[in-house]
Amino acid sequence: MDRIKFLGDVKIRPTLIQLLNLGMIICSALMIWKGLMCITGCESPVVVVLTGSMEPGFKRGDILFLHMNKEPIRAGEIVVYNVDGRDIPIVHRVIKAHERRDTGEIDILTKGDNNQVDDITLYSGGQLWLNLHHIIGRAIGYLPYVGYLTIIMTEMPIVKYLLIGVLALLVITSEE
Amino acid sequence: MHSFGYRANAVLTFGVTMLALMCFLASLSDTFTVPTTSAEVKILNINWFQKQANGNDEVSLTLNVSADLSTLFTWNTKQVFVFVAAEYETPQNALNQVSLWDGIIPSKEHAKFWIHTTNKYRFVDQGSNLKGKDFNLTLHWHIMPKTGKMFADKIVMTGYRLPEEYR
């Protein structure tokens, strides 16, 4: 009998408590995410593999756990980087590294395991090397298939809206 | 308390938690393996050694890589990525690592291998410092698991030297 029938019938306190609960859930999720960002030292501690360029090691839909520290980048490490001006992170392996003696700056060339050629065509403009500021993090762990939901939600936005709609409906009509 | 919704929720939560726990344990089991690996890289021939138009030295080599990495494979191993890198230093750079060849070992049966190849990737310096250069050849491997943490290690082989003159 506490469903909302008329506007005048709205019970203020239970509604406020419900909103507060929702706020708590959202805040906890945010805290966990930000906490992970601090621990791993990366802006995005978890990424989803979007392309098949690292097969058979990583397939589309797998997720990678990233970590970043002060250790210098070395050949063989799987790094996630952003090209200047693009927002999509790329996950490839370092095949060449040149570390400058005076500045400590490092020039990096990457390549996807499943690609024939290295990434030089992906770097913006006439850029020949990646530097530390392009690197978001190193991949240290891996889980298969878990990221497929994110891919589906990005490529078919209708699924995302449906999911949010269903969740909102559940929250509003819950009797707690 | 016994509606379909509650039961489905309980089963799903339990299922996902168990799956996550199993993935974690699978990864943990990888930390208990103590591998013994061996590798050898021979330079069979320096095919050519030139200075490019942009001023960078480049050398082409024929290598023989043989290794036994079978102890690295556990039940949680999907594949092992192996590559050979030339490592050297120059007046300008404290460290240079150039990958010459890489390969994927899909299973334990293929882990004891022997390959005769020219360098897959171009051995190009940043500058012109390679004449008479001493360098190491390092065999690196990267264990890619079915789930969990990735491990990497290497064997360093020293004592290689490039010719004093271009050819």
Report the alpha-carbon distance of residue A31 to residue A29 in Å, rounded: 5
> Could you report the predicted ipTM of this complex, rounded to two decimals?
0.85
Helices A148-155, A157-173: inter-axial angle, 10-degree rounding: 110
Summarised one tens digit per residue, pLDDT across range B62-119 is: 999 999 998 888 888 999 999 999 999 999 999 999 999 999 999 999 989 999 999 9
Summarised one tens digit per residue, pLDDT across range B117-154 is: 999 999 999 888 888 889 999 999 999 988 888 889 99
Query: A6-10, A104-108, A111-115: which range is least confident on average?
Result: A6-10
CA A85 to each of CA A125, A151, B90: distance values in angstroms, whole numbers, following the listed order: 10, 22, 33
- A-chain residues within 8 Å CB-CB of B126? 98, 107
For residue A173, the model assigns a pLDDT of 66
* CA–CA–CA angle A104, B131, B167 (5° rounding): 140
pTM score of the predicted model: 0.82
| Interface touch B95/A99, C-beta < 8 Å | yes
* CA–CA–CA angle A151, A37, B141 (5° rounding): 75
For the cut 90, the answer to whether the pLDDT of residue A176 exceeds it is no
Summarised one tens digit per residue, pLDDT across range A23-78 is: 888 899 889 888 888 888 887 788 888 888 888 888 888 989 998 888 889 999 99
Most distant pair of Cα atoms in chain A: their distance: 75
Q: Does A55 touch chain B (CB under 8 A)?
A: no
Structure tokens at B123: 């051995």
Q: Does B1 touch chain A (CB under 8 A)?
A: no
Asked if residues A74 and A97 have their Cβ atoms less than 8 Å apart, the reply is yes
Question: Residues 94-153, chain A: which have Cβ within 8 Å of B?
Answer: 95-101, 104, 107, 113, 118, 139-144
Write the residue in B83, B106, B145 that is nearest to A76 by C-beta: B83
For the cut 90, the answer to whether the pLDDT of residue A109 exceeds it is yes
